Structure 1
Amino acid sequence: MVVSYFHPFASGAERQALAQGLELVRRGHSVRVITRAVPGYPIPDEDHRGVQIHRWIRTWDRGPLFAVSFVSGLVRALRRLRGELDVIHTHQALWEAVAAGAARPGLSGLPTLVQPASSGYYGEAQELLRTRGAPLLRRAILRNTHFAAISDDIAREWLALGVPPGRLTRTASGVDTDVFHPGPSLVEADLLPRPRAVFTGRLHPQKNLPLLLNAWVEVARRSPANLILVGPGSDREALTALAASLGLADRVQFVGAVPSPAEHLRAADLFVLPSVAEGMSNSLLEAMATALPCVVSGVGGNTDLIAPGATGVLVPEATPEAWSGALLTLLENPDEARRLGRNALARVEAEFSLRAVVDRYVGLYRELIARAG
């Protein structure tokens, strides 16, 4: 597996790679992860619960030198390990995919599977088109053996970039239903009173949290509900100031980073995700597995997971009025909210459990290995 950062540094793609890696190890497979060296974390090689982590990619911080150093470092790492690998799976699709494509001539036919992490402005396809030298980089990326799209939106973007339909498989992210499930919470007493809406994830511009805070003004005026924001991020200070300026200081709680959001999800009454772009959100899958009714933006992989009126609510307009209306509808109709949560849980158990998703990836790995001879 190839991913830019990895345990203990984690956001969406990293968390999914770790979960899948641990499940593969549980089944008896050997999993190696090639990732970046992290300043101040002086462990180049680590065994994390059976997953072998190699922090071998040393990079310059930014600009063209970052790209050159990342690609050259990853090419060297792949060639160093080629005799011990059956398949290479990148969990991101810009510089990781460029390097995997560039390395292929020296990999003795080893199959490479490229999996973009997201779509839209923050996705790799659009980032590629904004990058200097995009035509050359695109050619390197298309040298990879196969592509995996975790949402319909990602599939459309990469087919438009020239990936042949026969070399792209629709896949999905998975959630560990042994960890994320309904039940009592151990953090109930630490949170603002119910009813509670919870957001879990990075406090980052991609998540569009100022929109949620502006919508919460009307929610707070018309209901006793409180908003709980769980996760780290560069936007926390600005969001805290915005909440105070909107008169929400006593109705919004910033929890910060937690090892796992499972307990906070079990302490919630609904889940909210106003992102401007998503691949297939781990946070949304975790909330669905906890049987929470979910109110999410109609973007990316959100539209693959949420069937309006069946497994949750898609908000098509990025306006405070649309969001406050959607949230209040569920807060004022708890029976409907519980129905949506039960349906969301049933869909996750049937289609998106970690075991089911890894089953599909193992099948794809075996197919690619067989084709490679």
Structure 2
Amino acid sequence: MTSSPKKILLLDTGREWGGGTNSMLELLKRIDRQRFDITCCFYENYARGNQETIEAVLQAIAIPVVFLPQRRQPLWAKLSKELVRTLLFFHRAWKKAAVSRIDRRWRVQPNAAAIAALLRQGGYHTLYMNNQPSTNVEGYLAAAATQVALIQHCRIEPVLTASLVRMVNRHADAVIAVSHGVQRRLRESGVDAQRCFTVSNAIDIHQPLPVRSEVRQRFHYAEDTFIFGSIGSLIARKSNHHILQALGLFQRAHPEARWQMIIVGAGPEQAALQQLAQKEGIASRVVFTGFRNNALEYLAAFDAFILASASEGLPRVVLEAMLVHTAVIGSDVVGTSELIDHNETGLLFPYGDVQQLSQQLAVLWQDAALRQRLTRSAAARVREQYSIEHYVSGVEALLEKMTERKQHV
């Protein structure tokens, strides 16, 4: 006799479409609908750069979604925060804790009550959260009130306080880390080891791949022009300013080089980055494309892909660059360093070391044999270790195990 599917409420409290959203969608496209009946709960019907909304994408793959409307911050909360910031100006930790308590009262607790009501009304077995503990406090409170299984998918290097760690250890049945580095950070912060599991991010290694020469011709990239590139949201964490500073150094050291920098993505940092390109004297060589939904084609057209982030989980864009045989330079941070073995599958530089990054740009520009060796090794690693099937089956196994365990407590 076939058992009925386990009812899962997937909670995403985010406000923007990032790599974690794409990883979540890849899972939802492939998850076994005979075993899992999933409904998504979002705060915002956010859109990516082509104005396609998350609701439309979920509807296209037959995943139901509900939205919890978010009320504006009440005046009392705003005034209380201003008072706290003034009185505790020289006590950063106290100030942060006080502001957090105010947010918990007007925003977190009402959201927790609404999520708990959804869990009860829908008869859900499990709450599965798609961010990190610091952005999912209301989910922890809702799960505690309803006694459903609670699974946290930690998609980026987490920021954890002692109180957050206590909350995770008290309520989470499992915390899924997207990389071994993220799991290590969780455990070092005090999260119980038995709650931590690694299911590495992954990509579809069987998808049709663009042909580099055809894409470059379509994009009008000259054969004798070296194309550096980056792809992602233009936000502070991605540290694209370090890339532009390094390119300024590269240009001054190698004025004879023919090159372009293609920045694919949109976000609040774009104007500042354009001003920085002007300051560095490289504005004529830097192209801002805005959001594009054909990222794989751009990756295939690049000679070198650069990711300078301050933090990552396990960046899918690096896996995709490796899959299409594009050389990768990345900052030596959690997640990125797990994919790049320096001088084996790519090049690493210490985060923020603009001089070192500039030198590595020059190395890849000058050494075609090195690029070929790195890309050959990287593509083989991706195909062997980071297929989407491993990722989906790993998450499914934990959803099944933790839900069953909770039902039999």
In the superposition, the TM-score normalised over structure 2's length comes to 0.79
2:13, 2:131 within 8 Å by CA — same for their partners in 1?
yes
Which one is further off, 72-81 or 159-168? 72-81
Q: For residues 298 and 201 of structure 1, what CA distance do their matches in structure 2 show?
A: 18
Matching residue of 1:341: 375
Matching residue of 1:73: 114
Matching residue of 1:124: 159
1:207 is aligned to 2:219: no
Equivalent of 2:153 in 102, 115, 133: 115
CA RMSD of aligned residues (A): 2.8
1:287, 1:294 within 8 Å by CA — same for their partners in 2?
yes
Instruction: Quote how far apart the aligned CAs of 1:195 are.
Output: 1.5
1:4, 1:35 within 8 Å by CA — same for their partners in 2?
yes
Q: For residues 347 and 159 of structure 2, what CA distance do their matches in structure 1 show?
A: 27
1:3 is aligned to 2:17: no
Q: Report the secondary structure of 1:213's partner residue.
A: helix
Q: Would you say how many aligned residue pairs link Structure 1 and Structure 2? A: 357
The correspondence of residues 153-232 of structure 1 with structure 2, limited to 5 A, is: 153-179=181-207, 181=209, 183-184=211-212, 185-186=214-215, 188-190=217-219, 192-193=221-222, 194-221=225-252, 222=254, 223-232=257-266
Which one is further off, 159-168 or 226-235? 159-168
Q: 1:161 and 1:259, CA in 2 relative to 1: closer, same or farther beyond 3 A?
A: same
Q: 1:187 and 1:97, CA in 2 relative to 1: closer, same or farther beyond 3 A?
A: same
Q: For residues 280 and 289 of structure 2, what CA distance do their matches in structure 1 show?
A: 19
1:197, 1:268 within 8 Å by CA — same for their partners in 2?
yes
Q: For residues 341 and 57 of structure 2, what CA distance do their matches in structure 1 show?
A: 43
2:116, 2:145 within 8 Å by CA — same for their partners in 1?
no
Matching residue of 1:22: 29
Instruction: Quote how far apart the aligned CAs of 1:34 are.
Output: 1.1
1:57, 1:77 within 8 Å by CA — same for their partners in 2?
no
Q: For residues 32 and 294 of structure 2, what CA distance do their matches in structure 1 show?
A: 21
Instruction: Quote how far apart the aligned CAs of 1:319 are.
Output: 2.3
2:140, 2:167 within 8 Å by CA — same for their partners in 1?
yes
Q: For residues 54 and 403 of structure 2, what CA distance do their matches in structure 1 show?
A: 34
Q: For residues 13 and 70 of structure 1, what CA distance do their matches in structure 2 show?
A: 22
Q: For residues 176 and 292 of structure 2, what CA distance do their matches in structure 1 show?
A: 30
Q: Report the secondary structure of 2:312's partner residue.
A: coil
2:11, 2:127 within 8 Å by CA — same for their partners in 1?
yes
Q: Deviations over 1:144-175 (max 9, x none)?
A: 11111122332233223332111111121121
Where does the alignment leave 5 or more consecutive residues of structure 1 unmatched? none
Q: For residues 42 and 215 of structure 1, what CA distance do their matches in structure 2 show?
A: 36
Q: Report the secondary structure of 1:329's partner residue.
A: helix
Instruction: Quote how far apart the aligned CAs of 1:38 are.
Output: 4.1
Q: For residues 345 and 44 of structure 1, what CA distance do their matches in structure 2 show?
A: 33
1:31 is aligned to 2:24: no
What is the letter of the counterpart of residue 119 of structure 2?
A: L
1:118, 1:278 within 8 Å by CA — same for their partners in 2?
yes
Instruction: Quote how far apart the aligned CAs of 1:89 are.
Output: 2.0
Instruction: Quote how far apart the aligned CAs of 1:246 are.
Output: 1.3
Q: Report the secondary structure of 1:115's partner residue.
A: strand
Q: Deviations over 1:294-349 (max 9, x none)?
A: 10000010111111121111112522210011111111111211221122111111
Instruction: Quote how far apart the aligned CAs of 1:258 are.
Output: 1.1
2:226, 2:258 within 8 Å by CA — same for their partners in 1?
yes
Which one is further off, 266-275 or 283-292? 283-292
Instruction: Quote how far apart the aligned CAs of 1:46 are.
Output: 6.1
Instruction: Quote how far apart the aligned CAs of 1:355 are.
Output: 1.6
Q: 1:149 and 1:180, CA in 2 relative to 1: closer, same or farther beyond 3 A?
A: farther
Matching residue of 1:260: 294
The structure having more radius of gyration, on CA atoms, is 2
Where does the alignment leave 5 or more consecutive residues of structure 2 unmatched? 1-9, 48-52, 79-98
Between the two proteins, what is the percent identity of the paired residues? 21
Matching residue of 2:179: 151
In the superposition, the TM-score normalised over structure 1's length comes to 0.86
Q: Deviations over 1:344-369 (max 9, x none)?
A: 11111111121221121112222223
Q: 1:148 and 1:46, CA in 2 relative to 1: closer, same or farther beyond 3 A?
A: closer
Q: Report the secondary structure of 2:151's partner residue.
A: strand
Q: Deviations over 1:42-86 (max 9, x none)?
A: 9799623122222225343587134344434333333333x2x44
